[in-house]
Homo-oligomer: A and B are copies of this chain.
Amino acid sequence: MHEKILELIERKKFAVLKEELKEMRAVDVAEIFDEIDKKNSVILFRLLTKDDAAEIFSYLSTQQRKDIVSAIHETQLKEIIEELYFDDMIDFLEEMPANFIKRILTSATEEERKLINQFLRYPENSAGSLMTIEYVDLKKEMTVKEALGHIKKTGVDKETIYTCYVLNEKRKLEGIVSLRKLVLLEDDLLIADVMNEDFISTKTLDDQEEIAVLFKKYDLLTLPVVDKENRLVGIITIDDIMDVIDQENTEDFQKMAAMEPTEEEYLDAGVFSLARRRIFWLLLLMVSATFTEGIIGRFEDVLQAVAILAASIPMLMDTAGNAGSQSSTLIIRGMALGEIELGDYLKVFWREFRVSLVVGVFLGTFNFVRMLLLVKAGLNIAITVSSTLVLTIMMAKIVGGTLPILAKKMKLDPAIMAGPMITTIVDALALIVYFNIATLLLGL
């Protein structure tokens, strides 16, 4: 599919190309822009019909939009902006420079200007930044038939018509009614009698992560956003929530791998931007890890006396780190999905204690046999390493399982208590245990 289009661009068969583009889905056309240069992007964009252009524009990346904006005529641009859904328009304006926004605002009406300014002020990741204003509003006094007529008249420009909002004359939200109900119920019923007054709503400043939880829990397709006076200011639709879920998961993955999170795609990000987001945590963890230097330094005579002890340090540390990462990952994810709560602290502790006992004894025994049979180490060395392994795995799992919960209790993001942080903490503990057992068992 893509190849064909790329070939048509190459060969400058614009008339054929124009027809082909009309047949394609907007998302698929948008993907082609990833594979062509700026010059061809502008040519391709000019071939689109006005309706298609706006929809495809809403799928393009920031850079692609900027390329097109800089090349097309201002009147054409204004047409596109007018065609965009309100939330897509706000997203677009947010990424443009201030003087560009100013130019757009001068040609808007007083009311539009006020609304755009209001929406641009909502913080990133808030309900306000996700919502759109293209919803269907109904009145309590309407009959089902009148409501359907109203939808037929006004619905074409709305982002969704599947949920309709019943407002009073002060635009307070009194109830919601699904199109499903309107279509299935009798024509002469009153909206007041069929609407759902016990609806779920959110406030403009609520966090997108909590909103995603509401969508999942209650199987919502849309969610109304109200202000302090319970006036409807916008609605959030599920397609935007799907993006939020991906974005929040990506953030968790990044934080858990000790990076500052970003929404930027890997291949779009600059080298220095990628480096910057990795250095802080790497440096912090490196400095924390130097704590182990002191521990080894303190036991240098033990290490001098039994040099073979050094050989097992990496294996002990790796295993401790991995054991801790397993536990912390399960707990962090469980908390993100709402399956584990702060009150489960003791339950998690007790569970990790028992699991770590099973895992620790299993791995410790395995290592004991391995060291005696394969490495042909002395009995005391094998006991030292293996018992350290058991204790280290147990510490790692208990620390890994409980620190994320403690972090949340302290209003920190549990995701920072993931593998890298747990490994650093547990490595120091592992060395202390190791050298103490060695001193004891080997009589040093």
Contacts and interface: CB of A to CB of B under 8 A. Distances in A.
Contacts of A355: 271, 274-275, 278
Contacts of A313: 296, 310, 313-314
B282 A319 contact: yes
Between A245, A252, A286, A307, the greatest number of chain B beta carbons within 10 A of the residue's beta carbon is seen for A286
A179 B250 CA distance: 34
A243 B242 CA distance: 11
Given A256-B329, A370-B290, A317 B314 contact: yes
A325 B420 contact: yes
A340 interface: yes
Contact of A314 (B258, B420, B427): B427
A310 to B, nearest CB: 5
A187 to B, nearest CB: 10
A347 interface: yes
A219 interface: yes
Contacts of A254: 329-330, 333
Residues of A in contact with B, size category: 35 or more
A90 B303 CA distance: 62
A67 to B, nearest CB: 19
A337 interface: yes
Contacts of A253: 252-253, 256, 329, 332-333
| Copies of this chain held together in the complex | 2
A290 B332 CA distance: 29
Given A321-B321, A419-B325, A266 B315 contact: no
8 contacts: A245-B245, A267-B334, A279-B359, A283-B362, A289-B318, A293-B311, A317-B318, A322-B423
Given A155-B180, A266-B330, A321-B420, 12 more contacts: A179-B183, A253-B256, A254-B333, A267-B340, A267-B351, A282-B326, A285-B322, A286-B363, A286-B367, A293-B311, A313-B313, A314-B317
Interface of A: 23, 25, 27, 148, 151-152, 155-156, 161-162, 179-180, 183-184, 198, 215-219, 221, 238-239, 242-243, 245-246, 249-250, 252-254, 256-259, 265-267, 271-272, 274-275, 278-279, 281-283, 285-287, 289-290, 292-293, 296-297, 300, 303-304, 307-308, 310-315, 317-319, 321-323, 325-326, 328-334, 337, 339-340, 344, 347-348, 351, 354-355, 358-359, 362-363, 366-367, 370, 375, 393, 419-420, 423-424, 427, 431
